[in-house]
């Protein structure tokens, strides 16, 4: 097994990203620890894990909201973590984010026209008339009738319509990277499917690269080309979506998948029982492998040694001393 191959074609390169939040002089939350992932242009990388695993902190650190504690985020070759002030503001046109709660993310006192036009206003782009024309174009693109929506306010729309309006706002500066943080989690299942289909359509039409964060593996499977699995701030496994769902080798990935209803009986022949126990505190994570307190395959080595990320097949990386294919080979 080898160290992961560096991906020189990446459009988004996240290397050794670490996010820590100080609690006191001695204690800090280890939200994300040395997370590395590379995303090609036009690709969707899904980022999954339990609530509290650090995936949203990683997404926000990519957006520089706030800047990570350490590590590198490069977009199209430009390092984002060292940008400040106007340079960062200008670079932000290339990367935008969609948030979990569509209604809360829209200012209830503003009209839809002003909400969607806000990025243009802040960037000083266009006259009022030009901005209004662009807002109409974007609303039309996301399936909202501009003539009926422009002068209304967010409370007059459903959750799904508000998420469409959020997407219009996120796309108005023609970004190349869209970060979706639990973008459909607050929506009804039928509306989720509509918004996911819209994102897929827009991705194809606009050539977007996407980082798609969700705790829901079924949703991630639907939209992702590749999937990264996180546990307690660390990357466990990364591979193309098909491999992650059919041949996961990290015990945690297997556990997560066992919780998803699966219509194909062959997909998970060797289901593992859901492992009991709570996610340990990110203030004082376990030594060695962070999953060891819940892992049925843990050994003394897992307590003593942090598992390095290694490539077990082209494009398939895992951080585990005893990946599952070793158990099936035994
Ligand atoms: S390194 Fe050890 S504890 Fe961690 S997932 Fe692998 S087998 Fe389990």
Pocket test for ligand 1, best of 234, 287, 297, 312 (most atoms within 8 A of CB): 297
- Does any ligand 1 atom lie closer than 6 A to the CB of residue 295? yes
According to CATH, the topology of domain 10-94+176-185+210-318 is Rossmann fold (3.40.50)
pLDDT in tens, the chain (330 residues): 455 555 557 999 999 999 999 998 889 999 999 999 999 999 999 999 988 889 999 999 999 988 999 999 999 999 999 999 999 999 999 999 998 888 888 999 999 999 999 999 999 999 999 999 999 999 999 999 999 999 999 999 999 999 999 999 999 999 999 999 988 888 888 889 899 999 999 999 999 999 999 988 888 988 999 999 999 999 999 999 999 999 999 999 998 888 665 555 444 434 444 556 788 999 999 999 999 999 999 999 999 999 999 999 999 999 999 999 765 544
Question: Measuring from atom 6 of ligand 1, which residue has the nearest CA?
Answer: 320
Q: Nearest 5 degrees, angle CA 216-CA 313-CA 225?
A: 35
Structure tokens at 161: 């319509």
- Residue whose structure tokens are 């932000």: 92
- Write down the domain spans for the chain: 10-94+176-185+210-318
- Among 40, 41, 23, 42, smallest CA distance to 31 is for 23
Pocket test for ligand 1, best of 322, 323, 324, 327 (most atoms within 8 A of CB): 322
- Residue whose structure tokens are 């997407």: 167
- Among 133, 62, 53, 137, smallest CA distance to 97 is for 62
Q: How far is the CA of 305 from the centre of ligand 1 (A)?
A: 10
- Does any ligand 1 atom lie closer than 6 A to the CB of residue 168? no
Question: Measuring from atom 1 of ligand 1, which residue has the nearest CA?
Answer: 320
- Angstrom CA distances, 284 to 147, 281, 294, stand at 54, 6, 15
DSSP letters spanning 155-224 = GGS-HHHHHHHHHHHHHTT--SEEEEESTTTTS-HHHHHHHHHHHHHHHHHHT-EEEEEES-HHHHHHH-
């Amino acid at each position: 097994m080898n160290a992961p191959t560096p991906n020189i074609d990446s459009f988004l390169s996240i290397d050794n990203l670490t996010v820590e939040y100080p609690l006191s002089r001695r204690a800090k939350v280890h939200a994300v620890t040395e997370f590395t992932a590379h995303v090609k242009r036009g690709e969707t990388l899904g980022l999954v894990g339990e609530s509290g695993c650090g995936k949203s902190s990683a997404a926000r650190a990519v957006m520089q909201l706030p800047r990570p504690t350490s590590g590198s985020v490069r977009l199209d070759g430009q390092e984002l973590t060292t940008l400040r002030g106007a340079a960062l503001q200008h670079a932000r046109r290339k990367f935008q984010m969609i948030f979990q709660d569509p209604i809360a993310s829209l200012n209830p006192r503003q009209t839809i026209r002003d909400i969607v036009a806000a990025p243009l206003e802040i960037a000083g782009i266009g006259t009022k008339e030009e901005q209004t024309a662009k807002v109409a174009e974007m609303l039309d693109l996301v399936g909202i009738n501009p003539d009926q929506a422009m002068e209304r306010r967010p409370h007059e729309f459903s959750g799904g319509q508000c998420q469409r309006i959020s997407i219009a706002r996120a796309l108005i500066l023609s970004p190349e990277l869209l970060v979706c943080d639990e973008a459909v989690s607050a929506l009804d299942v039928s509306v989720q499917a509509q918004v996911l289909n819209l994102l897929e359509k827009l991705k194809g039409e606009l050539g977007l690269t996407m980082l798609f964060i969700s705790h829901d593996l079924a949703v991630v499977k639907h939209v992702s080309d590749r999937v990264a699995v996180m546990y307690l701030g660390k990357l466990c496994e990364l591979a193309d979506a098909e491999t992650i769902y059919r041949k996961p080798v990290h015990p945690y990935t297997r556990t997560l998948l066992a919780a998803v209803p699966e219509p194909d009986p062959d997909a998970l022949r060797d289901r593992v029982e859901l492992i009991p126990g709570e996610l340990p505190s990110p203030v004082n994570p376990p030594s060695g492998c962070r999953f060891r307190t819940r892992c049925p395959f843990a050994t003394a080595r897992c307590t003593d040694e942090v598992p390095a990320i290694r490539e077990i097949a082209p494009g398939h990386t895992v951080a585990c001393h005893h990946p599952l294919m070793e158990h099936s080979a035994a």
